[in-house]
Amino acid sequence: MVQSVLIVGGGSAGWITANLLNAHCRRTGRDTRIVLVESPDIPTIGVGEATVPTIRRTLNDIGLPEQDFLESTEATFKTLIRFKDWNLGETYDHPFDRRPRPQSDTAAIAWSAQNGLPFDRHFSVLTQLADFNTAPKSPRHPQYQASFPYAYHLDAIKLAARLSSFGQANGIEYRLGNVVDVIVSPEGLIAGVKTDRGDDLTANLYIDCTGFRSVLLGGALDVPVRSFEKHLLCDRAVTMRVPYDVYRPERILTYTKATAREAGWQWDINLQSRRGIGYVYSSQFLDETAAEAALRQYEGAHSDELEARHIRFASGKREVSWKGNCVAVGLSDGFLEPLESSGLYLIEFAGLAIANMLADFESAPQATMRYYNRITNDLYDEILGFLNLHYVISNRRDTAFWRAATSDEVIVDDLRDRLELWKHRGPGQFDFPGADRLFARDSYEFILHGMRYVKGATHSRASIPDLSQVVMKARAELPDHEAFLSLVERAAEARKLS
């Protein structure tokens, strides 16, 4: 029986996992003790500020009210990513909605042959609403529900802090301490964890959330990393927080900006009281000093006194995520890169899967481990191919980075044949095996058509949907993004006064 779970490490990975496990055990009547031990000295990376729509299900499963979440994490809405200069001089969107529903193959194929009709503006309502900065929901909608799919921009450090207090209030045991020793049994299982506070912590199942250090799975159990660096060249980021009292943009946007740069790309994300910006780049083509200078030049003179933070990462994944009685979640298992906001999703996926496999692990541990490792490896490979797509189909050859990032040897093998097919037709229903994908046909359509990769014969425009009435109705019924955020702020102030 899994009577106890020890989660080593906090941050987003530790606290999302702990709360998902705790909520599952409470719902199913499992009497499982959940303990989280966190270092007081090691800072969280905490740069992941964008999410995908599954975060709503995760927070709802945990039981954190949406208003509470919006207030405590400085969250704003995210409805799409707006890509600029991935083809030089061009802009396109990857929104969360795809019209019409159900998908029309005829419409997609018809569009792909048209000249000058942007796919996003003809097949997404959210792309058009983003131009008006319309919120995807109104205060009348139930929590975590709306007429349109949406996610959030958030402060990941504040998310971890709120989930920490929420989890402890709901029975998760909390310890502070640095891990000084991991005991491994002769059978290759974790037998206990010692901290510098004198704690000897034991459990039936150990979850490694120690970030890139991977103290349990990578360190104690010596599980090697499978590198993705051949396919994803970026391995550095320089980030900055820009408070609105230093510089406030004209609008708090409902989308992430992803702008291609000479040696990578740059994000720009709007929260309630600040923006988060970051330049993701390849150290083969740019050094830290030049990357920081480029970020400050982009932001302007008001950034001169702001602190810049440099982060090193490697794209890759542990060969297995679950070995013996230890599972790695988040950065301790693997990392791709910040593009398309998959980092928090991988934590959500792992936490939910582990919670639902506790009973399986008790009855058939080896089969459970093999199955979990297979689906997790498949998920990483799926996301790897999608991220790789953004680079390899670019028409940019203007810098050494882009010549390398678009070279034939960088293409993921699983993507190669499909790219050959997609030159002549749009992606079809049989191009994406697997039921539970993060990025499926809709997402590929927006990237492929947005970057003008698909060619084909001329078709009639009759298949292109007219979304004007839907857009008009949504604009009449939904508030402006800043107006919605003002309501959140007023509700928070009223609660403090009551």
The residues carrying an active-site annotation are 78
Known binder of ligand: residue 193? no
Sheet holding 200-201, edge to edge: 179-184, 190-195, 200-201
Cross-strand partners of 442: none
In this structure, which amino acid lies at residue 25?
A: C
Known binder of ligand: residue 12? yes
> Is the CB of residue 210 less than 8 Å from the CB of residue 193?
no
Known binder of ligand: residue 496? no
Known binder of ligand: residue 331? yes
> Is the CB of residue 277 less than 8 Å from the CB of residue 295?
yes
Known binder of ligand: residue 11? yes
Alpha-carbon distance of 8 to 38, in angstroms, equals 6
Q: Where are the beta strands (DSSP E) in 50-204?
A: 76-78, 80-84, 91-95, 151-153, 173-176, 179-184, 190-195, 200-201
Residue with structure tokens 């988040």? Answer: 330
Question: From the CB of residue 310, how many other CB atoms can be counted at a distance below 10 Å?
Answer: 12
Phi-psi map region of 479: left, alpha, beta (phi>0 left; psi -120 to 50 alpha): beta
Helix axes 481-497, 66-73, angle to 10 degrees: 100
Known binder of ligand: residue 89? no
In the chain, % helix, strand, coil (3-state, to 5) comes to 40, 20, 40
Which residue ranges make up the annotated binding site for 7-chloro-L-tryptophan?
78
Which residue ranges make up the annotated binding site for FAD?
10-13, 179, 331
Which residue ranges make up the annotated binding site for L-tryptophan?
340
Which residue ranges make up the annotated binding site?
10-13, 78, 179, 331, 340
